[in-house]
Amino acid sequence: MTRFSARYGVMAACLLAFGSAAHARDRAATITILDGQASLIHAAARMAAAEGVAIEAEDILETAPGASLLRLELDGGATLDLGPATRVMVRPPLGGAGANGAAPVAYVLEGWAKLTVASTSQSGKAVMASALMDVTALERDLVLHVKGAEAELFAESGKVQTLVASKTGAPAPTNVDKGAFLARRADGAVGVTPRPAPAFIQAVPRAFMDTLPSRLAMFKGKDIKLNPAGRMTYEDTQAWLNAEPRMRTLFLTRWKPLAQDEAFRRSLVGQMAQHPEWHKVLFPAPAAASSTGQSARKPVSNPVTSAEAVKP
């Protein structure tokens, strides 16, 4: 296969995946405010995000460093605000993260996210996840900041229940009262203080402090379509491919078509230590060897058929 045909095949597979889903998008949320630039990754296609676009479960949103605010209005009345340089997956298939077993509203890989629930009746239903802490229940609003090996949470207007990765790696239940601040540092130390640290207050996106009305009605009945912006590269996916194991495994099937591209595959192999689960995808066990191994373990009921099965 030539380099051109391989790249054409990758693009065709990605466009097919995007197109088939676009005909019947299962709306989990709508982008109602976008101040700055952001990208939407649906299946294996990257597009420029825009206001009014429907967001599906497992879609990825990434805001640019210069973006001020991206607001998602979700089914049920909750809102999710994203600050600059933020990466999230909406409704990741991580069932059981919440107290009621529901999937999280979002997984925050890095950056700033503010979750506001519509009313206290939704307590425990809107949860968030990240590598260092999972939110298992909340009464009203929270702000989560994830950067490298550290995470911070501000219980802005109600109690929040969390599971925080301890120094040993085991999650420890930690409650945060209204107005209190939880910090999980790079050395594994976990602390809760009555109010946020001054550095956190200075760094919070200014847009998170504004009370903005719903704009969902403006986009009701509109079907805004986006076009893929070229093929995705390894660099586009690297942050997610190198995420924690429960997230990395979600991409083995989703991004397998991208591995047909020579450059993408070469990068996967070169960084295999960061995502070892891709070894079996790139270098699957030969079918003949697998069949031979099964024959050695089980009695052969039809020697002729079995012999033919292993012929080259």
Determine the pLDDT at residue 25: 52
Q: Which residues pair with 65 in a beta bridge?
A: none
| Cα three-residue angle 224-228-231, rounded to 5 degrees | 170
Q: 96 in the Ramachandran plot: left (φ > 0), alpha (ψ -120 to 50) or beta?
A: left
Residue 227 placed within a domain: no
Determine the pLDDT at residue 114: 98
Together in a domain, 70 and 215? yes
How many domains would you assign to the chain? Answer: 2
Determine the pLDDT at residue 241: 97
Determine the pLDDT at residue 9: 47
Q: Domain of 260?
A: 234-297
The rounded distance, in Å, linking the Cα atoms of 30 and 227 is 17
Together in a domain, 150 and 18? yes
Determine the pLDDT at residue 98: 46
Residue 167 placed within a domain: yes
Together in a domain, 57 and 202? yes
Together in a domain, 274 and 178? no
Determine the pLDDT at residue 24: 44
Q: What is the pLDDT of residues 59-91, one digit of tens each?
A: 999 999 999 999 999 988 899 999 999 999 999
Residues of the chain with pLDDT under 70: 1-25, 95-102, 119-126, 288-312
Per the CB < 8 A criterion, the answer to whether 103 and 92 are in contact is yes
Domain boundary among 167, 188, 219: 219
Determine the pLDDT at residue 141: 92
Determine the pLDDT at residue 304: 36
- Residue 209: CATH number of its domain: 2.60.120.1440
Domain boundary among 219, 246, 270: 219
Together in a domain, 127 and 16? yes
Residue 228 placed within a domain: no
Per the CB < 8 A criterion, the answer to whether 100 and 125 are in contact is yes
Together in a domain, 140 and 57? yes
Determine the pLDDT at residue 99: 45
Determine the pLDDT at residue 224: 86
Q: How many CB atoms lie within 10 A of CB 293?
A: 11
The rounded distance, in Å, linking the Cα atoms of 191 and 197 is 11
Determine the pLDDT at residue 13: 47
Residue 307 placed within a domain: no
pTM of the prediction? 0.83
